[in-house]
Amino acid sequence: MSVSKLQKEAWHPYFDAMSRMLTGKTAEIAVDSLKLGHQIEAEWLPLYGLVYDPKSDVFEVVMEGLDHMIRHPQEVYIDIDATGLNSVEVVDEDDVHQIISLRSPLMLPQSLH
């Protein structure tokens, strides 16, 4: 397992390229903060896209029946190992950690590692 931080200028192109490969993937969203504790926002729903819009400064998780918006994200981490992408963690301006975990790893081309 290797967790790495993505630089903000890479968010839009990285997730644009990666979202094209999500067909058939399911994911869970967990929200963690000191104020809220640990909560499951979505449990194993089909995942359609992960998108960062730099103009509105919003990171969007598009799932079946859910459009989860993270406003003013500050940091993004990806967890990749030999089997592929396992999770994405987005930290917002209020230090709320939103972890998108894939049920099965997403194989990524070397250019997205």
Percent of the chain with pLDDT over 70: 99
Is 8 a residue whose pLDDT tops 80? Answer: yes
**Model confidence at 1, in pLDDT bands (50, 70, 90)?**
low
Tens-place pLDDT, residues 14-46: 999 999 899 899 999 999 998 889 999 999 999
Give me the domains of the chain, ranges plus CATH numbers: 2-106 (2.30.29)
Give the model's confidence band at 59: pLDDT under 50 very low, under 70 low, under 90 confident, else very high: very high
- Of all residues in the chain, the percent with pLDDT exceeding 90 is 84
- Residue-wise DSSP of 7-51: PHHHHHHHHHHHHTT-TT-EEEEEEEETTTEEEEEEEEEEEEEEE
